[in-house]
Amino acid sequence: MRGVDIAGMDIDAPWLSDGPGLRVNGVDVTSFVEQELDRRFPGRSERRAASPAGLRAAWTTVDRAWDAAIERAAALPAGSVDVRVDDEWSFAETLRHLVHATDIWLGKGVLGLEEADFHPLGLGYGSRGSEAVSYDDVLAARALRAAMVRDFLATVTDEVLDEERRNPHNPADAETVRSCLHVILKESWEHLRFALRDLDAINSPIS
pLDDT score, position 110:
98
Which range is least confidently modeled, 25-34, 141-150, 157-166, 181-190? 25-34
Q: What does pTM read for this prediction?
A: 0.88
Q: For residue 111, count other CB atoms closer than 10 A to its CB.
A: 15
Average pLDDT for residues 18-26, to the nearest whole number?
79
Residues 61, 49 contacting (CB under 8 angstroms) = no
Tell me, which fold does domain 46-203 have in CATH? Four Helix Bundle (Hemerythrin (Met), subunit A) (1.20.120)
pLDDT score, position 30:
84
User: Where residue 125 falls among pLDDT bands split at 50, 70, 90?
Assistant: confident
Average pLDDT for residues 159-166, to the nearest whole number?
98
User: Which of residues 104 and 33 earns the better pLDDT score?
Assistant: 104
User: Where residue 205 falls among pLDDT bands split at 50, 70, 90?
Assistant: low
pLDDT score, position 14:
74
Distance of CA 116 to the CA centre of its chain: 23
Average pLDDT for residues 71-88, to the nearest whole number?
95
Q: How many residues are present in the chain?
A: 207
User: Which of residues 164 and 8 earns the better pLDDT score?
Assistant: 164
CA-CA-CA-CA dihedral for 51, 57, 62, 67, to nearest 10: 150
Residue 2 has pLDDT above 70, yes or no: yes
Question: What is the C-alpha separation between 106 and 100, in angstroms, rounded?
Answer: 10
Q: What is the chain's mean pLDDT, rounded?
A: 92
Instruction: List the domain boundaries for the chain.
Output: 1-40, 46-203
Question: What is the C-alpha separation between 10 and 65, in angstroms, rounded?
Answer: 25
Residues 50, 57 contacting (CB under 8 angstroms) = no
Q: For residue 59, count other CB atoms closer than 10 A to its CB.
A: 23
pLDDT score, position 206:
56
pLDDT score, position 207:
45
- Computed from CA positions of residues 184, 189, 191, 195, in that sequence, does the dihedral angle turn out positive or negative? positive
Say which amino acid occupies 194.
F
Which range is least confidently modeled, 15-19, 32-36, 139-143, 154-158? 15-19
Which range is least confidently modeled, 9-13, 98-102, 166-170? 9-13
Residues 3, 25 contacting (CB under 8 angstroms) = no
Average pLDDT for residues 147-173, to the nearest whole number?
97
